[in-house]
């Protein structure tokens, strides 16, 4: 059984004025997401600035989120690292806290061969008992998990159950579904490719867009899964200006700016991320207006 179907939000990590984690605001964001129909909370992913959190902050965000969600929707903890032992540590601790599943990005910077990827993910999976969603995002990691590699892991490791596919290559995604006989939980990792991913057997999205538009993103997926492909497509196209603006600079710079513009007050960014350029901010404001989020 899939961890979730629909739209899971890759939730931001809010900071206070001193750039410390604002847990009170995180609680507010969690409540908002659940009330607006998000089907899962993904904590400490790329959008959550996990790469600039200390291990203590990282784990506390996961523990806090599990406690606040209290089984109302699945909580999936981002526990990936370019160090296998670090990923194992974060994964085991997250399991202890009660996370429903793990999102594990492929090793970045030092990368890995395809055989190395199999060894890395197998070691992590064997260290825990909860399901793992592999995260393939070559533009960030410099490492592409090939369909044959993913198919091998899904067939040989029981708790590697899904993939967040952000390669941007729909032909690669289709090949993956062919090689696995569709027996993998496929989630879009790109908000501009939700409907195309669903069309080859996807069951949802792990979404940046959901931070701003949780209800619409949920509806986009569920309409498709319930047979309303036209309605799903219309939502995808309607939201394209906002999606484009949300990726006009490195994620999560634009989505944090969008949330602040909408009054959520999620704070700033930790370096090396910096505030959004004025020209791109104007484009973001126009996209929010065009999509009906501000007047």
Residue pLDDT, tens place only, 205-241? 999 999 999 999 999 999 999 999 999 999 999 999 9
Confidence of residue 295 (pLDDT cuts 50, 70, 90): confident
pLDDT higher than 90, residue 61: yes
Distance CA(15)–CA(147), nearest Å, equals 38
Active-site residue (options: 164, 187, 256, 257): 164
pLDDT higher than 90, residue 274: yes
Per the annotation, the verdict on 135 as an active-site residue is yes
Report which DSSP code applies to 128.
-
Q: Would you say 91 and 127 are in contact if contact means Cβ atoms under 8 Å apart?
A: yes
100-118: average pLDDT: 96
Active-site residue (options: 68, 121, 135, 257): 135
Q: Would you say 120 and 88 are in contact if contact means Cβ atoms under 8 Å apart?
A: no
Domain boundaries, the chain: 6-237
35-61: average pLDDT: 98
244-255: average pLDDT: 98
Helix (H) or strand (E) holding 9: strand 6-10
171-186: average pLDDT: 97
Residue pLDDT, tens place only, 129-174? 999 999 999 999 999 999 999 999 999 999 999 999 999 999 999 9
Residue pLDDT, tens place only, 69-108? 999 999 999 999 999 999 999 999 999 999 999 999 999 9
Per the annotation, the verdict on 108 as an active-site residue is no
Distance CA(220)–CA(240), nearest Å, equals 12
- The CATH T-level fold of domain 6-237 is TIM Barrel (3.20.20)
DSSP code per residue over 30-98 = HHHHHHTT-SEEEESSTTTTGGGS-HHHHHHHHHHHHHHHTTSS-EEEE---SSHHHHHHHHHHHHHHT
pTM above 0.75, yes or no: yes
Q: What pLDDT, on a 0 to 100 scale, did the predictor assign at position 1?
A: 83
């Amino acid at each position: 059984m899939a961890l979730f179907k629909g739209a899971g939000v890759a939730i931001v990590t809010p900071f206070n004025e001193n750039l410390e984690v604002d847990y009170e605001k995180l609680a507010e964001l969690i409540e908002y997401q659940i009330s607006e129909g998000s089907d899962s909370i993904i904590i400490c992913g790329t959008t959550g600035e996990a790469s600039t959190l200390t291990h203590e902050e990282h784990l506390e965000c996961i523990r806090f989120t599990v406690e606040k969600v209290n089984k109302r929707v699945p909580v999936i903890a981002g526990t990936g690292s370019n160090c296998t032992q670090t990923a194992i540590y974060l994964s085991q601790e997250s399991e202890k806290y009660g996370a429903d599943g793990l999102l594990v990005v492929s090793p970045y910077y030092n990368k890995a061969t395809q055989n190395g990827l199999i060894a890395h993910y197998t070691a992590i999976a064997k260290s825990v008992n909860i399901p793992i969603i592999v995260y393939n995002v070559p533009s960030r990691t410099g490492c592409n998990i090939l369909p044959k590699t993913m198919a091998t892991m899904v067939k040989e490791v029981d708790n590697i159950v899904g993939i967040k596919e952000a390669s941007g290559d729909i032909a690669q995604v289709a090949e993956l579904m062919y090689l696995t006989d569709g027996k993998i939980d496929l989630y879009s990792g790109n908000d501009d490719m939700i409907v195309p991913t669903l069309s080859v057997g996807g069951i949802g999205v792990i979404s940046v867009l959901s931070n701003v538009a949780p209800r619409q993103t949920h509806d986009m997926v569920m309409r498709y899964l319930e047979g309303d492909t036209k309605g799903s497509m219309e939502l995808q196209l309607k939201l394209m200006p906002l999606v484009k603006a949300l990726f006009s600079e490195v994620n999560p710079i634009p989505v944090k700016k969008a949330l602040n513009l909408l009054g959520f007050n999620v704070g700033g960014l930790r370096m090396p991320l910096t505030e959004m350029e004025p020209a791109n901010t104007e484009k973001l404001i126009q996209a929010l207006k065009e999509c009906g989020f501000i007047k």
